[in-house]
Amino acid sequence: MGREKSAPSVGADSLKPEKPAHQPYLADAAMPDTVAILPAPPASHSAAENADKVAFNATRALKGSPRWDLATADVAEGASAILDNFACVLGTRLDQVRVPALITLLERSRLDIARATRGPKVHYRRLRPFVGNDAPICVQRSQQLADSFSYPSGHATQGWAYALIMASLVPGKATAILTRGRAYGESRVICGVHWMSDVEAGRTNGAAIVAALQGDAGFRTDLERARQDLGRALAAGGPSPDQAVCAREEAAAKEPVL
C-alpha cells in the first residue's frame, strides 16, 4: 500500500500559489459560534467516553481490511479530493478543470469550515485516541497531528458539509451522496485519529456552517454557477470510476463501525 501519509489539516490552504487567494464567504458577524452550538465532548469516565474507547479499540482489528484501505484513501481532503470521493456516487470521474465553478465553491466554503472547526478544537483541546499508546492508525504518526486536537473532527465536518452541498447540487443522488458523506466521517474512527463523538460533532458542525452559508448571497450565487458547471460535466460524461473502489465504498456504507 506504500508509505502511509500524514493527515493534512482541514485548515490548510490547498490552493495553488499562483492562483488568487480565495476569501471565506462568511463575515465574522455571520459566522456561527460553534463552541456554543456543539455540546462538550464526553466527560471523563462517562458512558459516552467509554463508548468512544470501545469503538477505538475494536476498530484497530480492521487494519489491512478493505474498510481500512478506504479510511486511508479518505485521508485526502479538499475540493479536488471531493471529486474522487463522490466519483462512484456520480457514476463518473471528473477532472477539476472541467468544473471550475464547483471547485471555487468548495474551496471558499472550506475556509469557512476551517473557521467553524478551529474554535471548538482550541476551546476543548481534546487529545486524539492514539495519543499515549502504540495502537495502529492509518496515517503516519507525527507530533503535529497529535497536537492538532480531536474535537470536533475537521475531516468529518468538511465531509458532511461537502455532502450537503453536493446533495443540493445533484438532488437526484442525495441519498447516495449523504451515505458516502457519513462513511467518510466514519473513516476517521476506522483510521484511529478521531473518537466517534468527534465525528458525530463534526456532522453537527458541518450542518451548522452549511446553514449559515445558505444565508450568504455570494455563496448562493456560486452555488448556482456550480450547479450549471456540474450539470454540464455530468451530461458530457467522463471516465468510469474504478469498480473495485465503488464496491469497497458500497460495502463500507452497509457495515456498522462496530
Catalytic residues: 155, 188, 194, 198
Give me the mean pLDDT over the 95-103 stretch: 93
pLDDT tens-digit readout, 190-247: 999 999 999 999 999 999 999 999 999 999 999 999 999 999 999 999 999 999 999 9
Q: What is the pLDDT of residue 17?
A: 41
pLDDT tens-digit readout, 156-177: 999 999 999 999 999 999 999 9
Dihedrals φ, ψ of 151, to 5°? -115, 125
Q: What is the pLDDT of residue 32?
A: 97
The DSSP symbol for 153 reads: -
How many angstroms separate the CA atoms of 196 and 186, rounded?
8
Query: What is the domain partition of the chain in residue ranges?
Result: 60-254
Predicted confidence band at 4 (pLDDT cuts at 50, 70, 90)? very low
pTM score:
0.90
Cβ partners under 8 Å of residue 35, min gap 6: 119, 120, 123
- The CB-side HSE value for 145 (13 A sphere, CA atoms) comes to 20
pLDDT tens-digit readout, 131-142: 999 999 999 999
Question: Hey, what's the torsion of the CAs at 129, 131, 132, 134, to 10 degrees?
Answer: 80
Say if CB 179 and CB 132 are below 8 A apart: no
Question: Hey, what's the torsion of the CAs at 234, 239, 242, 245, to 10 degrees?
Answer: -30
Q: Which of 79, 28, 75 shows the shortest CA–CA distance to 194?
A: 75
Grid coordinates representing 18? 499562483
Grid coordinates representing 16? 495553488
Q: Tell me: cis bond preceding 129? Omega within 30 of 0 counts.
A: no
For the domain with range 60-254, which CATH number is right: 3.40.50.10490, 3.10.290.10, 1.20.120.80, 1.20.144.10?
Answer: 1.20.144.10
H or E segment to which residue 256 belongs: none
Q: What is the pLDDT of residue 258?
A: 74
